[in-house]
Amino acid sequence: MEQTFAKYINVNGQLMDLSYPRVMGILNITPDSFYAGSRMQTETEIVQRAVRIVREGGSIIDVGAYSSRPNAEHISPQEEMERLRKGLRAIRRELPDAVISVDTFRADVARMCVEEYGTGIINDISAGNMDENMFPTIARLGVPYVMMHMQGTPQDMQLHPHYGNIVKEVLYYFSEKVQKLRDMGAKDLIIDPGFGFGKTLEHNYELLNKMEELQIFELPVLVGVSRKSMIYKLLDKTPDTALNGTSIVHAIALMKGADILRVHDVKAATEAIRIVAAMKNLKPEE
């Protein structure tokens, strides 16, 4: 399905044009993310990673302080906030104009990041399912909101994922979420099919194959497949050796309508975008 509608999001009062796909660089302030290359602990490491994301062509820095890998350790809201305060303070000092997204499922954490540090986007793996206050908080804050499809929680999502028809169920899931948010007055919604979250290897590739069906919502689509098990397990590799496979899946996702790639390897992702954009005759904004 070819995109025939304009896609913009209002970030910190500025329109971000998504007609040319964007890269969201991952910056994890956690000790246990599945890919070691994305873990940053000290302020110096955090700043160096943020600067590198921007220098290599990333439009958004996605900061996370709660690991959402399968069987991840559950941390308190207080610890999540402490980690984020340290990271956001350091990034804002070095890159005051950077577009920052915060990866959290907690409404209080989202509010703190937006109100205290000017965070421009909230990225919620649970689409409001893990905190009933998230939707009204997003509507009140008025920031762009990424809602992801996940079956279960990070602690149990990969135990027994099951679907009758994964594509239909994901579409129905988003239809309910989008309507609920719009009824509350929320704008600038972004959908993420949630590759690797409560899905088997087969589920992930079935969803990738039909990803263009998400265009029915006429909303931006974010894809996060970077170095995930759907790639490295299929290819008998590890997260550290999954960059080539990641680039291939990125190219497929872009051809099927992805507007934002959430990635560990910003330079490789920007190159994938340039190649697919040349094929589609898309031009970046001046």
pLDDT at 162: 87
Residues 6+ apart with CB under 8 A from 278: none
- How many residues in total does the chain contain? 286
Q: Is residue 131 one of the residues assigned to a domain?
A: yes
Residues 6+ apart with CB under 8 A from 169: 163
Q: Which residue has the tokens 């991840």?
A: 72
pLDDT at 88: 97
CATH no. for residue 145?
A: 3.20.20.20
pLDDT at 34: 47
pLDDT at 152: 72
Residues involved in catalysis:
228, 262
Residues 6+ apart with CB under 8 A from 245: 231, 232, 234, 235, 237
Residue whose C-alpha is closest to residue 273's, from 59, 7, 49, 10 = 59
Q: Please count the structural domains in the chain.
A: 1
pLDDT at 1: 47
The list of the chain residues with pLDDT below 50 reads 1, 34-35, 38
Q: Is residue 11 one of the residues assigned to a domain?
A: no
Residue whose C-alpha is closest to residue 250's, from 229, 234, 268 = 268
pLDDT at 285: 74
Residues 6+ apart with CB under 8 A from 234: 201, 245
Q: Is residue 8 one of the residues assigned to a domain?
A: no
What tens digit of pLDDT does each residue of 242-256 get?
999 999 999 999 999
Domain residue limits at 88: 20-280
Q: Is residue 153 one of the residues assigned to a domain?
A: yes
- Partner residues linked to 49 by β-bridges: none
Q: State how beta strands 14-17 and 22-28 pair.
A: unpaired
Q: Is residue 173 one of the residues assigned to a domain?
A: yes
Q: Is residue 193 one of the residues assigned to a domain?
A: yes
Could you write out the DSSP letters of every residue in 57-126?
T-SEEEEESS--STTPPP--HHHHHHHHHHHHHHHHHH-TT--EEEE-S-HHHHHHHHHHH---EEEETT
pLDDT at 82: 94
What tens digit of pLDDT does each residue of 53-80 get?
999 999 999 999 987 766 667 789 999 9
Q: Is residue 138 one of the residues assigned to a domain?
A: yes
Residue whose C-alpha is closest to residue 37's, from 22, 23, 52 = 52
Q: Is residue 203 one of the residues assigned to a domain?
A: yes
Helix (H) or strand (E) holding 263: strand 260-263
